[in-house]
Amino acid sequence: MSSRRELANAIRALSMDAVQKAKSGHPGAPMGMADIAEVLWNDFLKHNPSNPHWFDRDRFVLSNGHGSMLIYSLLHLSGYDVSADDLASFRQLHSKTAGHPEYGYCPGVETTTGPLGQGITNAVGFALAEKTLAGQFNREGHEIIDHYTYAFMGDGCLMEGISHEACSLAGTLGLGKLIAFWDDNGISIDGEVEGWFSDDTPARFEAYGWQVIRGVDGHNPDQIRDAIEAARPNEDQPTLICCKTIIGFGSPNKQGKEDCHGAPLGDDEIALVRKELDWPHAPFEIPAEIAEGWDARTKGSQAENEWNEELAVYTEAYPELAAELLRRLAGDLPADFAEQADNWIAEVAAAGDTIASRKASQNAINSLGPILPELLGGSADLAGSNLTLWKGSDPIRANNAGGNYVNYGVREFAMHAIMNGIALHGGFIPYGGTFLIFMEYARNAVRMAALMKQRAIYVYTHDSIGLGEDGPTHQPVEQMASLRYTPNMETWRPCDAVESAVAWRQAVERTDGPSALIFSRQNLAHQSRDEAQIAAIAKGGYVLKDSAGTPDLILIATGSEVDLAMQSAAALEAEGKAVRVVSMPSTERFDAQSADYKESVLSAAVTARVAIEAGQADFWYKYVGLNGAIVGMTSFGESAPAGALFEHFGFTVDNVKAKALALV
């Protein structure tokens, strides 16, 4: 039987060899954390390499994602579909083993990590989802949802501000099944961190309400095991296990130094490591005895089979609950969702309310909430402004695990990254609200949701200079363009209650990426439509008003500016011009339509076009052409009432009319 050190050395060897072959990467963290990983994965982690998607598995998150060869080595050794050839193609084009762990590329990778601090924050989302789902579905004697979330993190993760946001909330919510390991090696890219990172980290986490296990030797398997055994029974507090390690452990000349953090060790040093670790095997070669010591397939299949047996008993006792749980775990909407959505949107159209689109959004949530119990809402301390609360909202607390609404506090970045973890976990469709301008705090988490193709719904209100008196610090200008330029993001800026309802439906139905729903502070006039026009909203852009014959010009607008376009069209028609008005609530969705459909809306023969939006103007040249006109923002806003601002920046009928007439 192989010793624990020999099992851990397999990680060290695979990691240094893969980095060396790629001629880039980070060998230090995998070599330093190998002993911790060996104990966790062989003695505690509940998973099935033969079925990486088994739902009640424990989640493992490598927050210090630059150490990616650690997780790739673990996946290979324990029996996932990650071959030695995959390890040898580390960091190469189309490889499973990308430079940083990528969700969807490599089986067993639970989330994309690399931007430091987001992995531990995703882990908070995993743990929150587990606790909430258990609160909603577990019954006495039937703990059908029962798994842990484990996270590895380094000094860099703890320096990032997002870790403070997320870990503070995790303590407040009592996420007892979250266990994080701090790789306390004192080294970052620039060298010894004591010159710029002198926090009392254990005290910091104790202040958050975490259980903290101090002074663990990260190279002593017995101490590591004892720490994990002490952490697991505490269901009321997340746990931080403080592990003192040596970066690059086993490298005679580079361990404990920044030299091994982010660069290959070099052939000569690797030869010395092999001698130091008594590892005479060729690169990527794992002896049979060591491979057998790591193989988790039999144990994993047994664990999944036991859970399936428990599920069968649960199903017999609670058939309706079980059916609902399985539906949600599959990510499916209720069978009658489309019919209910059609009826609800028709009712909104018939009502014809002139209201702020943020209020229309709340109305939408009130309609969706009763039919979609998987909605898990929240707001970054702006619920009364974002209007993300609905009649059935039940705030989650440490002692109320089964709720459906998270008060994230003033933590925009953490909210978005936690939502990513919730979406990845499964069983929920998360939505969260803040002012559009504060998307900037969360920008990288938004990007990560798009990169991972996760169904997260961002409710962004106070969408333009229409915010008014709070001034340019709070008035978004460039944010909509930024969202629209993000690959795999869908951005919706509805013009009234009907478009708001459709936007919500589209976001809920979308399963391959996030959606940003952008809503106004001020009231927006209802626009009349026939059934065909209502159906066309889902295409992202459609003809809201057409001319009798071929139009002389086309006005394109979104959100609050659609009504301005309609008023301007009337003024232009009084001048004898034939005008088409196009409402374009989602440019990304419109761009995805067929060429024939896009031609039917934006006819190539009509080159006189004016785009109108109280956001960054340059974005709209793709629709109006270089010879078209744009009524938009080319500067930041000002502090004044909304009406005064719209007039000051040219969002008036007279200005639109003048720009249009200059084209025809």
Task: Name the residues annotated as catalytic.
Answer: 412
For residue 566, what are its two tokens?
């309609």
| 392/403 Cα distance (integer angstroms) | 10
Q: Which of 409, 364, 416, 415 has its CA nearest to residue 391? A: 364
The residue type found at 640 is A
CB 216 within 8 A of CB 224: yes
Tell me the helix, strand and coil percentages in the chain, rounded to 5. Answer: 45, 15, 40
CB 127 within 8 A of CB 210: no
| 90/18 Cα distance (integer angstroms) | 6
CB 379 within 8 A of CB 434: yes
In the block, residue with structure tokens 């803040």: 434
Q: What are the strands, taking DSSP E only, across 73-231? A: 149-154, 178-184, 187-188, 191-192, 211-217
| 233/473 Cα distance (integer angstroms) | 47
CB 524 within 8 A of CB 496: yes
| 301/61 Cα distance (integer angstroms) | 21
Nearest-5° angle of CA 506, CA 509, CA 515?
A: 55
CB 155 within 8 A of CB 186: yes
Beta bridge partners of 543: 582
Q: Which of 302, 260, 221, 158 has its CA nearest to residue 2? A: 221
Q: Which of 609, 608, 541, 553 has its CA nearest to residue 580? A: 553
For residue 576, what are its two tokens?
């004898």
CB 64 within 8 A of CB 119: yes
N-to-C CA span, the chain = 85
Which helix or strand (DSSP H or E) is residue 557 part of? strand 553-557
Q: Estimate the crossing angle of helix 412-425 against helix 443-452, to 10 degrees.
A: 20
For residue 632, what are its two tokens?
């938009």
Q: Which of 51, 50, 53, 106 has its CA nearest to residue 427? A: 53
Beta bridge partners of 212: 240
For residue 600, what are its two tokens?
């039917």
| 552/542 Cα distance (integer angstroms) | 17
Burial class (CB in 10 A: 0-12, 13-18, 19+), 506: buried
Helix (H, G, I), strand (E, B) or coil at 30: helix
